[in-house]
Structure 1
């Protein structure tokens, strides 16, 4: 039986097809975006995925990549399986160089249009580390068959100057997480009746030092000296915690929604990000957010704190806990990331890629 990527259930023979290539089954925001786009392709399209990454040591990751690349070549060599567009999801460093091979094979061997979707918030600084790197990347992207997508107008301004023409593609909100303003109001009224007035602080992210778990714990311990009835739920972390801190590991999408709904504020102290999915998800639930100013520009309802300035973070966190903002503006700020808006944007991007 020939290899075939996992395919979206909404299938019709006359639909156009897109193949998503990237870290489909691993932890993190990129995998979440791939899953949402795979499950919700644009109208008139069907979607499939090909996983190129796995957890484990370097050898295991290399073997997974090699197997995936072989499978990719088999799929594109079969005219019955070949997609109309290949949507490649990449970060920086080795993620880019691996995906570059996918890109070159698709456009040079089979003339298949490709979207190179850059997710990393580190991509620009990584480019600047080596001028020759910019030249090589531009050579790879310089083809009418290639469309380069970035996460926001901010990244368009920065990366467009270095790698040429790019299009903007906002990350989508998972429809399983999104709630309406009416639901939020009902939840607030219910919670006021049920909870013991303990405020819940939430910090979510994979187990990586750049996410700032240790900083969030230190901040929580400082604030708890001034506001006793608070607790911290923290995901994706396996280090030492402390009193009133719940370390939850990696959580499912259903558990993620429950955590977002029950929290009073979300902390995002990352050292860098592209467009953090957790911020978008929190906004869609009407949850106040405090993020580091290391993160690219965010909607107006997001409170920004200075890097690792824990005094600034402490002041802003105490203010939100004591005087929570209205959820209406917070939910409104998630509008560009609503699923239908994102689907329509990808329809335009894919259609344009096919017409070049």
Structure 2
């Protein structure tokens, strides 16, 4: 078993001297740190930086975000994906504003009750802001801890994560915020998934996988289920005024985002016209094809230009001028389609 004091000393010495500069490391404001953790889930640091800065400039306080409309909030998240994260964050912030006088709860057992706050977010925010002794175990930490202990347990299993949390508990009894951040930093910059920098690692002497030559075999993670692929027709429909037909999604995936009408590729023109309640003059060949890859599925999209004389539509459809596009929240895939067609 890894010796607590010696390991922590080596890790924290390295972290304090080499940690990357990040805007959320320059504050102890729980709202800002909470936001950063929500943004960083399944998203790279370099991608998050500009979004984080723009978000806090637009919504600098709990009250400002709480009083904002969802469409406005989604606009500042556009391109980050996993939109349920920001919806949950928005709802939780409203609860903080109304039920906690605008102050983020400082106790873990209260903070975790907020919408979207799971064990990892709870541990990360509560340890960084208040030094509560909670191990924050994310993908980086699962990989690092597997290698340090030469542990071949499947990290996709909840039981493995629970075991790791128990093993890490002695390491967070003090300086928990710095320790958690140091472990994440080690995983992001040194103990990377591929080609880890073992010869430069500050805790190499503690690593059993390095000693046993098994670093490249770890961590163990069960194979993912093959992604589902769906072929779609995406219709870029304009009218005599040059306006573009869009609709708002009412589905679990990308809920509330705007899109160009899309139908599975084997949908007949009659079905499409019935859905749109309009006569559609649709080109036979696509303008271009594109794809969008989610964690669990892939969309293959043929983008078709079309025209209709119909001018009146009902929700979830609406006509949008090109200038209105920036006022609506579109998914990354739909923004790319718009930009490509209009050569933005």
Q: Tell me the TM-score range normalised by the shorter chain.
A: under 0.3
Q: TM-score by structure 2 length?
A: 0.24
Which of 1 and 2 has greater Rg? 2
